[in-house]
Amino acid sequence: MTESRTTGVRLLIVGPPGAGKGTQAAVIASAFGIPAISTGDIFRKNIAEGTELGKKVDEIVSSGGYVPDSLTNEIVADRLQQDDAAQGFLLDGYPRTTEQVTELDRILAASGHQLDAVVQLTADRDEVVARLLKRAAEQGRSDDTEDVIRHRQEVYQEQTEPVIAAYADRGLVVSVDGLGSIDEVSERVLGALQERGLAVAV
């Protein structure tokens, strides 16, 4: 039964800064044979390629503004229509608001799909702060003070709480402890997804 799911696994990953979300996104995408789609990467790629969407984003970002939901939705919808995402994907960085949750539902429903699971990496805040402070010291990032790092953690929690709650109501959230070695966390994530009947690609 799980075999058919390997060809159409649609996932979302969320986690606080410093929880290793990008690393785990790459592991999950590779395990399921699906593209990891980061909105930040999409913005950068469109800007670099000088697409119409990229020009719009570049203009907004250059003037210090925030990319509006409408444009983010447009870019994500465009990316999900590309061939490599037809058989599944892992979204990272979208949706960030409940309005974007509704829009993603609409985008997926248009092609008869829906999300299979939302991977939530959890991490003790003090441990994550300690990890990020160590990284800042190693990389000479003097701007990354404890106050700045803690503020980012709070912003993440405020922004993503409603999104996680929306998916939790649907029973889609798979919470996994994001602390430990990369392999340990990967094992937890893939094991939790397998328990939901989402088998990895062979």
The catalytic residues are 21, 96, 135, 141, 152
For residues 180 and 42, what is the distance between their CA atoms, to the nearest angstrom? 29
Of 86, 34, 77, 88, give the one whose Cα is nearest residue 53: 77
Residue 27 burial by Cβ neighbours in a 10 Å radius (0-12, 13-18, 19+): buried
For residues 109 and 113, what is the distance between their CA atoms, to the nearest angstrom? 5
- Give the tokens for residue 192: 């939790």
Dihedral sign computed on CA atoms, order 153, 158, 162, 163: negative
Beta strands in 21-171 (DSSP E): 36-38, 88-92, 117-122
